[in-house]
Structures are given as structure tokens and as C-alpha cells.
Amino acid sequence: MTENIFRSGFVSIVGRPNVGKSTLLNRVLGQKIAITSKKPQTTRNRILGIHNFTGGQALFVDTPGIHKPKGKLNRFMVDQAVAACSDVDMVLFLVEAHDHPGGGDEFVLQLLERAGTPVSLVINKIDLVEPPILLKLIESYAERFGFKEVFPVSALTGEGVPRMLKTLESYLPEGPRYYPEDQLTDQPERFIVAEMVREKVMRRIGEEIPYGVAVQVESFQEKPEQNLVVIQATIHVERDSHKKIIIGKGGQMIRTLGQDARKEIERFLGTRVFLELFVRVDKDWSQSERMLRELGYK
């Protein structure tokens, strides 16, 4: 009697900044583990999401947007994304349905050609375009690169995602179960919590503060007898003026950020949360090797 084959493998999601990579990962998992915002370069670290299916396990790697880097933090982000194109079983190249292939896409495709990994094209936000435009876009990309598959999807609504998953599952090689069935990511809870706080800063502050914001969880105390987790986190900024903006008049902004983040963290942890936020100025931290290491960008 032939035993059932268990399939497993790694699938990287790559593309230009802000095309919906983290939204797609969250849709695949059915739960939010990767933060999102309308600002490019929101994702900074590689994030592994574990998708279990009957007879297998697919490990999706969300990556920072690939762009021509300026500065040490940007170089770290691009290195993370490029590294995720190698030693995986499949790469999903994510683009937007309403975009024509441009210089940024060409830069990504050149990296993918060098990596030599099978690549499938995922065209996101198909809910925003008419079919004739979508067909022209598929033709444009097909002329440039030999994609294994093309998946038109909407990460926001879920359209096309089940078909994509079913096809990818069939391509995975025979392999082990890398993680327990009930595990969603390899990132610790502290990392996800810090990212959720950073997301609220990026969404609330608007254009007033550039990307010189990082969040570090200093204390994470579980109190099961009270159904409570007590968290202290520090928001690192590069300028005194940025600190004033985050704190806000009379402390209003930091209270709002804390309230927004606490609600999201409670949904993620499934328990009540007491969240205390602090703001610290570390001048030009994004250009400091020491600070980048300290904040986890190493």
C-alpha cells in the first residue's frame, strides 16, 4: 500500500514597495501577522507565514519591497528581499493590475533571473480594473519573463487566492512538516506586537514623520490569572521634533496610538492587554550600525 505523500516547501512573495505583499500574506493565513499601510517600505523584515493544507505545509515569506537602496536601513531591507529569492521552491512576483511594467519591475525581474528560482506572476488588485486591461498587462509581462503560472487576484477581497493556493500546493516537493499545525509564524509575539505599534504610527502620523521610526518591546509580562498581558514598548525616532509629533498636544497622539495598537494586539493575543508606550530620540539611528543591530535590523 502506497503511503500518502506529504508536500512542503518555501514560497517567497516579492515585488516593488507597496504592491500588497503583506496584505496577500495575511489573506493566505486568514489572520493578520504582517503590518500594512499605504506608505511604501512598511515591511522591513522577512516574515514567515505558515499555511497548512490537507497533505502539506507551505511556508510563505513576506519580504520588504525591492527598490534601489539609499542608506543602511534600506540596504538591509533590500538584502532581506533578495536573500528570500534563493533557496526557496517558488517565488511569487507581485504586481498591481493598474500598473504598466516599469523600471522598478525591471529591476526586480533582473534579480529573479539571477536567482534562477521558478517564478509565478501574481497580479493584485484585479477588482480595480476591467478584463481587457488585465489581459494586456498579462501579455506585457509574459513577453518579458517565462513565468510558471499567472495568478490574477485581489488580496483585499480574496478573489483568485484559493485557486492560487491550490495550484502552488501541487507544485511543492515531498518534504517534512517544518512547524506544528497550530503555529502561524516563526516570529515571536514580541516582534508582532512591536510591528503592530509601528503600523499605527505610520498610519496615524501621515507625512509628518519619515521612515525613521522603530519600535522595541522592552517588557512583555503574562498574567494568566488576570487574563492580562502587560507590555511596555519604546518608539524610537531620529529627531526631537518627531518625538513632539508622536506625543502630541497634551499627550493626545500617543494615547490614540496606544489605544489603536492595544485593540489590535488584544485580537492577536486573544487576551486583555495593558500597553504602555514611551518615545526615545536616537539621532540618525537608521544610519547607525550599532542601533540597527540593537533594533533587530542586522
SS3 31: coil
Please, what is the average pLDDT of the chain?
Answer: 86
Query: What tens digit of pLDDT does each residue of 200-245 get?
Result: 998 888 666 656 889 999 999 999 899 999 999 999 999 999 999 9
Among 144, 95, 82, 88, CA closest to 121: 95
User: Edge-to-edge strand order for the sheet containing 150-152?
Assistant: 47-53, 56-62, 7-14, 90-96, 119-124, 150-152
What CATH code is carried by the domain that includes residue 261? Answer: 3.30.300.20
Which residue range(s) make up the domain with 165? 7-171
Model confidence at 82: pLDDT above 60: yes
Q: What is the share, in percent, of the chain residues with pLDDT greater than 90?
A: 52
Alpha carbons 109 and 17: distance in angstroms, whole number: 14
pLDDT of residue 38: 66
Of 129, 145, 171, which marks where a domain is finished? 171
Lowest pLDDT segment from 39-43, 135-139, 194-198 = 39-43
User: DSSP states of 243-275 as a string?
Assistant: HHHHH-GGGHHHHHHHHHHHHHHHHHHTSEEEE
139 and 51 in a common domain: yes
CA distances in angstroms from 254 to 62, 171, 186, 231, 245, listed in the order given:
29, 47, 29, 15, 9
SS3 193: helix
Query: What tens digit of pLDDT does each residue of 140-153 get?
Result: 999 989 999 999 99
SS3 28: helix
Q: What mean pLDDT do residues 266-275 have?
A: 93
Among 202, 264, 262, CA closest to 237: 202
Model confidence at 67: pLDDT above 70: no
197 and 152 in a common domain: no
Q: Per the structure, how many domains does the chain have?
A: 2
Alpha carbons 206 and 119: distance in angstroms, whole number: 35
SS3 211: coil
